[in-house]
Amino acid sequence: MDYMSIANSPLMWLACGLCVALVIFQAALFVRKSLIAGKKLGITNEQIKSAVKSSATGSIGPSLVILAGMISLLVAMGGPVSWFRLSYIGAVAYELMAAGFGAEAVGVTLGSPEMNATAFACGLWVMTLGSIGWVLFTGLATHKLDKFRNVLAGGRKEMLPVVSAGAMCGAFSYLSLDRVVLFNSQTYAAIAGFVIMAIFTAYNQKANKKWIREWSFCISMFLGMAVSIPFI
């Protein structure tokens, strides 16, 4: 039997659907709790609306990239698994690698004509086993990370935003310079994204325009990408 009929069976859809449902359930629950807490902290509806708009427009680009990565996963692992794995623990690069290692372990190249049910199953097991570390660790340790953050702030509450600013500058420097040191068209994309957003941010420190706060990420990433096209 062709393994794709198993990979795309209604039962696989159900099994994978349960996992996606858990992600959505948790998100809905946390949003409800956050809205209540937000009211008490004095967050206005206007702020919530702005946040929703900005994160929605900011998520479109990255989701397109994930969708492009989905193509090779669809061919090798079928619909349900691709759909579930890309909305669950891990990331688009991780999933392809894990499925590949799984198939390789039974001597098959992922997505090749030799791809069979055993390679599919092994890929699926490796995808799960290789990814649970992230959820297990966050499930058990997230509340302790908060204490660690206080240690980083030297026990001073007014230093917490400095810790966050340092963490963000550090993380985003790593993520963007990782692409800059490739010294190819991605270098131009990263620098262009930086320059465009720097202009928006500097201008908006005084102007304080709502549309800039909501749209600047979306505009910067697509414009930055466009600038790099001649260098590809």
Partner 1 sequence: MENQDLYYEKDFLPSIVRWGRGTNLLGVLFAFIPPLVCTAVYGIWPGWGPIFAGFVMQASVSGVFWFVEPISYFNVLGIPGTYMSFLSGNIGNLRLPATVAAQQAAKVEAGTGEGTVIATIGVAVSIIVNVLFLTIGVVLGAPILSLLPANVITVLNNLLPALFGAMLAQQFVPHPKIGTVAIILAGGMLLLMKYGFLAFLPGSPSYAVIIVAVFGTILIGRKITESELKKAGSAEK
What is d(CA 123, CA 96) in angstroms, rounded to the nearest whole number? 9
Alpha helices in the chain (DSSP H): 3-7, 10-41, 45-77, 79-87, 92-105, 117-152, 160-180, 185-207, 210-228
Minimum distance of partner 1 from residue 207's CB (angstroms): 13
By CB under 8 A, tell whether 96 contacts partner 1.
no
SS3 154: coil
Selected from 86, 96, 110, 115, the binder of partner 1 by CB under 8 A is 86
Q: Show contacts with partner 1 in window 152-191 (CB under 8 A).
A: 152-154, 159-181, 185-187, 189-191
Q: 45-77 and 79-87 helices cross at what angle (nearest 10)?
A: 140
Selected from 109, 121, 206, 207, the binder of partner 1 by CB under 8 A is 121
By CB under 8 A, tell whether 4 contacts partner 1.
no
By CB under 8 A, tell whether 209 contacts partner 1.
no
By CB under 8 A, tell whether 115 contacts partner 1.
no
- Give which of 96, 106, 104 is closest to 75, Cα–Cα: 96
By CB under 8 A, tell whether 141 contacts partner 1.
yes
CA 115 to chain centre: 28
Our CB check for partner 1 shows the closer of 62 and 114 to be 62
Q: Show contacts with partner 1 in window 37-76 (CB under 8 A).
A: 37-38, 40-43, 47-48, 50-68, 70-71, 74-75
By CB under 8 A, tell whether 193 contacts partner 1.
yes
Minimum distance of partner 1 from residue 221's CB (angstroms): 4
What is d(CA 136, CA 14) in angstroms, rounded to the nearest whole number? 23
Minimum distance of partner 1 from residue 127's CB (angstroms): 8
- Give which of 83, 52, 51, 53 is closest to 66, Cα–Cα: 83
